[in-house]
Amino acid sequence: MTFFKQFVRWLRRLGVVVLVLLTFYFTLMAYHQLKPLPPGISHASPVYQTDNVEFFRDLTHHADDERQVDQEIFDQVERMIERADDFIVIDNFMVNGLVNDPSEDYPALSDNLVDQLVRKRDAHPDMPIVFISDAINSGYGSYPAEWLDRLREADIDVVISNLTRLRDSTPVYSSLWRMGPQWLGDLGGEWWENPFVDGGPKFNLGGYLDMFNIKANHRKVVITERTALVASANAHDESGFHENVAFEIDGPIIGDLLRAEQAVIDLGDSGIQLPNYTPEEQPENGELSIQYTTEAQTLNNVLDTIERAREDDELWLAMYYLADREIVNALTDASQRGVQVSLILDPNKKAFGREKTGLPNRPVVEELVEDTDGNVRVRWYDVEIEQFHPKMMMLRQAQQSTIISGSTNFTSRNMDNYNLEASLTISGPNDADVMREVDDYFLMLWHNEGGDYTLDVDEYQSTMTDWQRVIYGVQAYLKLTTY
């Protein structure tokens, strides 16, 4: 009986401990889902007028059974670096040359960008040059970030974004991580296999556990005193064949990009201050309007644009990930209003060199096609070793068009203030050069003009299984996804 009483007491004490831990866990979960955002995060600039917006794209496709690679974006980045006189600020998610298959002749994007910046520093030792990036490049602190370290050695300021102050995108896991592993440092030696690169630098346990928070500074912007570039492209060699897009702008909006990047720097304690920017005079009545948005502000513009679409308008998407519930519902509603909705999507075969199961795009496409009786048109980009990586939408109406493009996938993780993201909204007449170029881009891919770009929806959609649909639903509900 004494043993039984002691056992009951022990159970009661254990119950109290469990109750306290669960209370703490769920309190953490609620707080880090709802806490105020740091200053400057989720920013929308004023709307500016301009005549100067340039469109750039990278394409990989097949013609005559041979891979054709046509790249423009990092060539333009090089020109921007060469022309800069006062400052250079770059924020780019992935900057490394680690690849899974060295036999593939990947473009040396990381080496080229680092070499350009080092040469610029040698020629201009006093010029402010700041490079902002993500902890993914060091295995979340597991190993040296080789390419970023080369910048540091050249006396270029490097900032690894501190994302712990952002809200948690994977609350079921991140709340546990915040209760313990967050405070335990590296947690042992580097003996965990690299999850991104076969044979790559090993992870330590702390880096591995941090990775599962699935949180990123996902921006891709280049800023000088002359122009700014908002892109979907990473300076990552294994991403070198990806299809991507970018837009270059100038004028006072550059100040908004700098303020948005200062907000990222201020998440940490580096104390770096970006340079002041004094814009040249800008026309007040340019034919194009432009607005810079970060994080959830982009979602607002996307939904507003879709809701403006009316019967016989054309709504085009070129997208790597499409999964945000509000956007999927808005696309369905638009189609039912008579809007011609056309999607060019990545089939989600690969990510970070690993095979994927088609999530999230394939179940989302199945839903859209079913709910609109096939009125939403879909084509898959014919990827091989690359990803169809744009994050671009275009609404074409009778007289005016609107483009939204940048780093922001159309997913909750990218649009609900979890990741750091950057996008540009451009509006203007259909006959503006940039509108015609983007319209031609969509039509070329859709109709396979001059090469093999896209495939019919059935090429991948027929492979969807019930198991994949179940996994998609469970992952989306628990937020245990990378999208």
* Biggest CA pair distance of the chain: 90
Q: pTM of the prediction? A: 0.94
Indicate if the alpha-carbon torsion angle 96, 74, 43, 259 is positive or negative. Answer: positive
Q: Is 133 exposed, middle or buried (0-12, 13-18, 19+ CB in 10 A)?
A: buried
Residues 247 and 299 both lie in one domain: no
Residues 357 and 257 both lie in one domain: no
Domain of residue 294 covers 288-478
Which residues, 6+ apart, have CB-to-CB distance to 246 below 8 Å? 55, 56, 57, 72, 73, 76, 220, 229, 230, 231, 232, 233, 405
Residues 240 and 382 both lie in one domain: no
Q: Residue 189, Cβ neighbours under 10 Å: how many? A: 10
Residues 474 and 379 both lie in one domain: yes
How many domains does the structure of the chain reveal?
A: 2
Question: For residue 64, what pLDDT is reported?
Answer: 76
Question: For residue 285, what pLDDT is reported?
Answer: 83
Residues 89 and 167 both lie in one domain: yes
Question: For residue 3, what pLDDT is reported?
Answer: 72
Residues 307 and 183 both lie in one domain: no
Question: For residue 478, what pLDDT is reported?
Answer: 65
And the tokens for 69?
A: 């690679």
Question: For residue 65, what pLDDT is reported?
Answer: 77
Q: How many residues does the chain have?
A: 483
Residue 3 in domain: no
Residues 303 and 430 both lie in one domain: yes
With the CA atoms of 325, 329, 331 and 333 taken in that order, what torsion angle do they form, in degrees rounded to the nearest 10? -170
Residues 325 and 190 both lie in one domain: no
Residue 458 in domain: yes
Question: For residue 83, what pLDDT is reported?
Answer: 98
Question: For residue 250, what pLDDT is reported?
Answer: 97
Question: For residue 357, what pLDDT is reported?
Answer: 76
Identify any residues that bridge with 410 across adjacent strands, giving them in sequence order.
322
Residues 242/60, Cβ–Cβ less than 8 Å: yes
Among the candidates 265, 298, 317, a domain finishes at: 265
Residue 353 in domain: yes
Q: Over the chain (483 residues), what is each successive 10-residue block's mean pLDDT?
A: 75 86 94 96 97 98 85 98 98 97 94 99 98 98 97 99 96 94 76 92 94 97 98 98 98 98 98 90 84 98 98 98 97 98 94 75 94 97 96 98 99 95 99 99 97 94 66 67 66
Which residues, 6+ apart, have CB-to-CB distance to 434 below 8 Å? 53, 54, 55, 247, 288, 403, 426, 428
Residue 276 in domain: no
Among the candidates 204, 232, 265, a domain finishes at: 265
Residue 401 in domain: yes
Q: At 149, which helix (H) or strand (E)?
A: helix 146-153
Residues 322 and 395 both lie in one domain: yes
Q: Give φ, ψ of 43 to 5 degrees.
A: -110, 140
Residue 242 in domain: yes
Q: How far apart are the first and last CA of the chain?
A: 55
Quick one: three-class SS letters along 65-88?
CEEEEECCHHHHHHHHHHHCCCCE
Q: CATH number, domain at 221?
A: 3.30.870.10
Residues 68 and 131 both lie in one domain: yes
Residue 23 in domain: no
Residues 133 and 99 both lie in one domain: yes
Residue 12 in domain: no
Residues 368 and 452 both lie in one domain: yes
- How far apart (Å, rounded) are the C-alpha atoms in residues 264 and 116? 24
Tokens 């423009």 belong to 72
